[in-house]
A = this chain, B = another copy of it.
Amino acid sequence: MSSEPLAPGAVIGIIGGGQLGRMLAMAAARLGFKTIVLEPDSNAPAAQVANTQIVADYDDPEALQQLADLCDVVTYEFENVPVKAVQWLEARVSVRPGSKALEVAQDRLLEKAMARELGAETALFAAISERGDLDEAMDITGLPAVLKTTRLGYDGKGQAKLLRPEDADTAFEAMLGQMAILESFVHFECEVSVVAARGLSGEVRAYDVAENVHRNHILHTSTVPSGLGPEVQSEALEIAAAIARHLDYVGVFAVEFFAVREGDRHRLLVNEIAPRVHNSGHWTEAACAISQFEQHIRAITGLPLGDPRRHSDCVMENLIGADIGRTAELAGEPDAVLHLYGKAEARPGRKMGHVTRISPRTTRS
């Protein structure tokens, strides 16, 4: 792997055309790079701002060949890109992050096993491939517990709660025969995340820990600084760095944690790993010199990582569905940095944009 940075004018392929791809494409443009977005929807958010779009499925062989031919480096903006497509590409062009991180992130079992292997805590869990596994698994996790498909779940899709043993049948059926994982229900005080980057040189730089509130399984707000003490924050950053090193990762990634109150401090449990820029890092564009999007572009092009320190405190709020109607009102708030994604239709539950309210930095942690 060469550590010579790509020069301005180099071409970055982005698999996926959603808002994350859009914000990556704009960050790439600001650094003088060109972008090609592979995305079947021709009016997708990222396609609107990229230099070029290849309108095709993510695993279309001709489209992948084009990416391999035209790009200096390829990245992806969501973790459900077919691993085979990325492996095929990796043999032909630099793909950062590569397929290894994707494989782990696509499988909740691999993800949790890796976190444990690296010495981090997770919820208690057990693998479920058939109905019978569930009874034993409940002994391991206790109740309440959450049954999740191991693959392709996000924003609460493919999940079922088990409050009593009698819920097992319904929950198992909701998995539609897919491999699943039963996880003990964690009585967390708060959810936090670390968004960090690992550069081509192996250097890891993390943004400050964000405290996240979800509504209807969708991120609602991220607040920085979080309520964690400095020691626990350091622990979160160390876990993130260990994961990145283990995966030989290049780019921005996020680790989501449950923080459980224990006396006067918190215990951290790894919940999920996202091998991409992350919704809980959107605040960085408003409160840091270098956003997570630019940081990812820097990492995958071999540029030095930017300084992740924040200059302001902030609260990022997602704008979901009809929230788009609040645009003018939000634009009128002082210190509110508004960011919309160019989506034509405001469906319920659809992420339409976000707003970050900044305020002078009050703490050093």
Contact = CB atoms under 8 A, between A and B. Distances in A.
A342 B307 contact: no
Given A290-B337, A306-B331, A332-B304, A32 B342 contact: yes
Interface in A14-58: 22, 25-26, 29-32, 34, 48-49, 51
Interface string A322-364: 0010011001101111111110100000001100001010000
A328 B303 contact: yes
B303 A331 contact: yes
Contacts of A328: 5, 303-304
Given A32-B324, A32-B353, A353-B32, A340 B307 contact: no
A110 interface: no
A149 to B, nearest CB: 33
B331 A298 contact: yes
Contacts of A8: 324, 327, 340, 342, 352-353
Interface centre among A22, A30, A307 (most CB of B within 10 A): A30
B32 A341 contact: yes
Contact of A327 (B25, B49, B303, B358): B303
Nearest to A336: B289
A306 to B, nearest CB: 7
A82 interface: no
A177 interface: no
* Pairs A-B, 10 closest by C-beta atoms: A32-B340, A304-B332, A307-B334, A303-B331, A5-B328, A304-B331, A289-B337, A30-B339, A48-B51, A49-B49
18 contacts: A8-B327, A22-B29, A25-B49, A26-B29, A29-B48, A29-B49, A29-B342, A31-B327, A31-B331, A48-B51, A290-B337, A304-B331, A304-B332, A306-B331, A306-B334, A307-B335, A309-B334, A311-B360
